[in-house]
Chains A and B, each alone.
Chain A
Amino acid sequence: MTSIVEMPRANLEEALPPWMKIDWSDEVLHDIYRDWGTYYSRRRRENFALHYLNKALALEPTDHMTLYKRCQSKRKAAQMLGALDDSRAAAKLARSKDGEEKAIINLDICDVLYELNQFENSKAEMHNNMRVFIGNKRKSFEQRQLVVDGVIKDVTGEAMSAFFTKNLKTVSIVHDLIKERERVDNRPLWKRLKEQGKCDVQSIPEVPEEMLSPMEIARRKRAFNIFHQSYINDSWIDVLFMKMLCKNPNLLLPQCKESSYFLQQLSSKQYEIVRKFMKMLQSRSPLYLVNYLKYGNKAMSDKYREAYLFRVQYQTHRNMNHALKEIRALRKAKKVQQLAKFVEELMGTYVVLKTARVMCWKFEFLNEVYNTMALTLAEQLRVPKGFTPYGSNAILKLLRLPVERVKDFVPVTFGDRAPEPEGNDPATTRAKRLTARLEHRMVFAKYSIEKCYLLHQISQSYLDQGRHSECTYNARKAIKESKNCNSNLWKFLSVVQIVKANAILHKLEQTKEALEDALPIAHFLKSSELILFIENCMACNTEDSINKRATLMQARRVSKSESVATHSLVSGQDVDSQGG
């Protein structure tokens, strides 16, 4: 991309450079443009160089040396395919014009093929040229051939054998993926979908998003770092920075409509160029070769690896102990919110990345943490001193639900598909983000107790957002999951979530049913506090039911009296009309 802009005609006399004011012939202009292109190419400003070289070729398309220079410039800009086309065209023109091969251009073809990672084709070209040229010209090809031979032998040497031996299954998977990708099926989409047994009604099928596990995300980040460190050492941080720039909202400000697009194009293209060069390096020296050379002694490398893993394991063990201390301290201090946040951060960011190798008691640790969390949540379910089940919203107070946030019941109109209004306040945004995070963790959770915890937290998050149906749905899933891990405590807590959701909505009968389900669990847990809590909730619900029933009766009486009055009024009018 070039920023060359044509000069406005009004300022033609003033703005034109001196050499553009002279009426040069095409030959002279061609030479000028070519020289400017060469100049900018030497200064590694390839956009300008390509611009001028293109103009020169527009004037003289058969100039093979200009084509050669453009090829050089395109190589620097990682435009290898274009460079190859230019070099081949230049060679062809040189043959037709001078009647002989140009060693410098043919050498460029070999170099471009090498940079395109077509080592075999490059080698073949070198051999062909070595049969054409003699002397110093031939020596250049010989030297390059040594390099290419060395690369091929390194790549296909013992390192490849070891790699194939280790990754036999992966090789087959990769091959199948490549074949699937290369397959061209021109049949209508519905026919293809029908053959695959999928829904063939949708004309634009949804592309399922690939869900990556936290471990995989971390692995890819680490692979990115290791990959670039292996080839460009400390400069890997620059590549990472360039990658982040491509998606950096501070750089790509949407309100800056003029510069945002330009900066996006610039950052992505520059990053793409760097990626191409990195691909070249990888092709010449794959990671399996680098690792093979670095860890040539397998016994020694295994020893170092085990030592490293033991160090990581030891540090992880220390971190686990520290985490447990922190959890116990927060529980003792009854800091439920901080504990929940700490557990989420610990389990969702740290523990999820640890394998069983470095975290030897991972399952036990998970149980300890989640059970502690459950106990802490259960300890919140206490009847406060001086509490009476009488009065309005008593159950909400008992459940520690906000009273002022109670919303009116929204009637559902059948057929109305208008979505619920979305909240944009910061709290709602944080809640949504948390929900997304929890759901992502849910996909990759392995242990039932972890799933119970996640489902409970998701339910709580939906409750905080006022999405009560989702809350009850996830709570029921948690109840079902708790059966797998025999966790009655998480089952109780999940039932309480249902109670909370129904209580907020004043669904008295459903609340009663939920409480009736919770009471046996409380008895099973043999916790007098929980039993008392549930009984008080039931009393509050009963009181609310009575009040509601009285209110309904009162309303009915008022309605009946109004109906009688209306009837009398109508009867009186009839008598008057008969008398008149």
Chain B
Amino acid sequence: MIGTSSGTSHNRSRKKKEQCGSCPNRFSKDKRQVAAEDSDTTEVESSTDEEERWKEVARAAEIPADYYNIQKLVKYIKAGNQTATIVSLCCLKDYDLSTQINQFAISDIGGLDVLVNILECSDTKCCLGALKVLSDITLNIDIRKTIVDLDGIPLIVDILNSSMKDLKTMAAETLANVCKVRLARKYVRTCGGIPKLVDLIDIKLSILKTPRDQLSPDDLESLDMTRAGARALFTLADSKHNMEQMRKSGIVPLMAQLLKSCHIDVVIPIMGTVRKCSSEPKFQLAITTEGMIPDIVSHLSSENTELKMEGSTAIYKCAFDGTTRDLVREAGGLEPLVTIIKDKNVRENKPLLRGATGAIWMCAVTDANVKVLDQLRTVNHLVALLNDECDEVLTNVTGAISECVRFQSNREQLRQAGGLPAMVSLLNSSHAPLLENLAKGLKECAEDPDSMRILEDLDAVRLIWSLLKNPTTRVQAHAAYAICPCVRNANDSAELVRSLVGAMELVVGLLKSKDIMVLSAVCAAIATIAQDQTNLAILTDLKVIYKLADLVQTTDDLLRMNLAAAVAACACFGNNTEELGRLRTVTPIVTYMTSDNPLVHRSTAMALEKLSMDPQNCITMHQSGVVPFLLECIGSTNKELQLAAAGCLRNIRELALRAEEYLLKIDDD
């Protein structure tokens, strides 16, 4: 007899003793510890106080007749025999189990326990019926948690071993719902469910490419099973560990195959899985290698909004790699992306807009892609989106603009489109990623003299300078980088810097930061500000050389490059050269020449040339073994590097020569 009280108690006692073969230590772990271990996912789903209040309100309302009818059916399942159970389960399907009141009808009478217990029986019809009911009611968050607490996951995973496709399909559908609970995702992985789910999506390409109405019943079953598996995997992909398990199980080529499908209901979940997995570098490489980009691009032109959102977001996440960006361009993906952003009808669809703008942003990192985007007048479309209310969208838009305006033609286009005032007005935002991209974009615009005039009129320099006070280090860094072209290209820039109250104190103060990127950017800013002698005097009074001297022991190439540039700029005032030598900066700076970065060599050579104005520094450099590095730099293709290295070496050599002439005093006769 199935579902009786005594039977249930007996089954519970037996269940406590036996363990699932896939997770032998399941019962020995505290659930809270298990939950804490699975901390890679960022998705948190739980009941809130509002939902509890809603439940009370729902309960307080008039209970419909279906409530009691459903409870009767559950009782029949509990008390009835196998036939009665099957009939009852079929009757339950006649009700709308997606409504919460009906779901409560089942849970309030203990129906969940009965359904979970049915999964252990050998009768496939009963199991199938139970799974059908569970797949409907597990849309409820609380029911999902209850299923997990009742140890339903191992039972469902075991059903995946069945030879019946419909049974596996329903099991996968159920898992697709239940695994939205974080603990459930953990259980599926530990019970070995992921490889089984991956096997579900292994289907013939011919079935995928054949319209549904032309498929045989068996192929339809296979397709349904694949869709269910894809949905389950999509849910499981919220966990980083699950992603890795999926990759090891060979999901990548299967995903590539499914993307070629003509069945939208299959492509959507698998595209979502691709989108989630694209955050991982290994998946990014695999996606590129398996040639998924053209298939993803092909779906960008789909009429299905969700599919476009998933596809564009996937490209957004994958396009960190230059090869991927090139593949997107070669597959013609830029055009549909631009089409999406210029469509006014999708302005309210923030996920889609976020995905499309993000994809354009990433693709714009490649110069060749920018050229294509220019032909599509992308900058103008992006400027139109600067009025959007969503910070994420604005972040992506400004990021895309910042990449496009690396080219002079786009700077002019942005200026003509009126984008500069909009960007400057966004500087008042408090969203750090947005401010970061704004700083990057305005930095590029400041390189253009005409744009710089507009920025000066908009008082953008002061606003950019104020970003240095932002608590986010990346914002500070990009703001500091943006200061460089502003100071360099502004009219009467020296006076402009002095007119900003506390500006140089703020810049020098950031030299105490612990972030390498901030320090590097600030050094670049100091190198630019110090081009004016008066400002250099002020910086010297602020003891900038002492702060720079504290940083010379760094091993980061970017910081080395900018630090050397700052030293080169500051060394020429007063006795800063001697003071820098006294602060023992020469030897560490000489070691910068061991870097493989030519840019580091250039700025280091410039710094050494300035430092070599002091005789003691020349001697220290020579003792530090700078000559071979300088000789190598003289042969460089960079003119500045050549001149700086030659100047430094000449100072060292001529110092000794002049000293010798002084000792001889032959010419004085």
Contact = CB atoms under 8 A, between A and B. Distances in A.
Given A124-B642, A288-B660, A152 B653 contact: yes
Contacts of B637: 131
A363 B661 CA distance: 33
A127 interface: yes
A161 interface: yes
Residue among B627, B642, B653 with the highest chain A CB neighbour number at 10 A: B653
A164 B634 contact: no
Contacts of A174: 615, 655, 658-659, 662
A194 B337 CA distance: 76
A123 B657 CA distance: 19
A282 B657 contact: yes
Nearest to B655: A171
B622 A161 contact: yes
Nearest to A175: B615
B666 A168 contact: no
A141 to B, nearest CB: 12
Q: How large is the interface on B (under 10, 10 to 19, 20 to 34, 35 or more residues)?
A: 35 or more
Contact of A164 (B622, B635, B662): B622
B18 interface: no
B615 A227 contact: no
B595 to A, nearest CB: 20
B619 interface: yes
Tell me which of A153, A160, A286 has the highest count of chain B C-beta atoms within 10 A of its own C-beta. A160
Contacts of B635: 123-124, 127
Given A177-B662, A227-B666, A156 B622 contact: yes
A163 B618 CA distance: 13
Interface string A145-172: 0000100110110001101100110111
B649 A156 contact: yes
Contacts of A275: 667
A163 B652 CA distance: 12
B668 interface: yes
Contact of A286 (B634, B645, B647, B660): B660
Between A124, A168, A173, the greatest number of chain B beta carbons within 10 A of the residue's beta carbon is seen for A124
A284 to B, nearest CB: 10
Contacts of A227: 664, 666
A287 B649 contact: no
B656 interface: yes
B650 interface: yes
Contacts of A172: 615-616
Given A118-B650, A123-B634, A123-B646, A163 B666 contact: no
A286 B650 contact: no
A460 B658 CA distance: 45
Nearest to A152: B631
A155 B631 CA distance: 13
A542 interface: no
B634 A124 contact: yes
Contact of A120 (B649, B657, B663, B665): B649
B623 interface: yes
B657 A283 contact: yes
B56 interface: no
B663 A170 contact: yes
B509 to A, nearest CB: 34
Nearest to B665: A220
A299 to B, nearest CB: 23
A52 interface: no
A119 B654 CA distance: 11
A287 B634 contact: no
A163 B615 CA distance: 13
A118 to B, nearest CB: 7
A159 B421 CA distance: 63
Nearest to A121: B646
A223 interface: yes
A163 B650 CA distance: 17
A223 B665 contact: yes
A124 B664 CA distance: 31
A152 B622 contact: no
Contact of B659 (A127, A171, A283): A171
A356 interface: no
A124 B650 CA distance: 12
Contacts of B664: 220, 223-224, 227, 287
Contacts of A201: none
B657 A286 contact: yes
A173 B658 CA distance: 10
B332 to A, nearest CB: 40
B140 to A, nearest CB: 73
B627 to A, nearest CB: 5
Interface string A213-235: 00010001001100100000000
Contacts of A164: 619, 622-623, 656
B669 interface: yes
Contacts of B653: 119-120, 152, 155-156, 160
Interface of A: 118-121, 123-124, 127, 131, 149, 152-153, 155-156, 160-161, 163-164, 167-168, 170-175, 177-178, 210, 216, 220, 223-224, 227, 243, 275, 282-283, 286-288
8 contacts: A131-B637, A149-B631, A167-B659, A170-B659, A170-B662, A177-B662, A178-B658, A210-B668
Given A119-B650, A120-B634, A175-B614, 15 more contacts: A124-B646, A153-B627, A156-B653, A160-B622, A160-B656, A161-B623, A164-B623, A170-B659, A174-B659, A174-B662, A220-B668, A223-B664, A224-B669, A275-B667, A287-B660
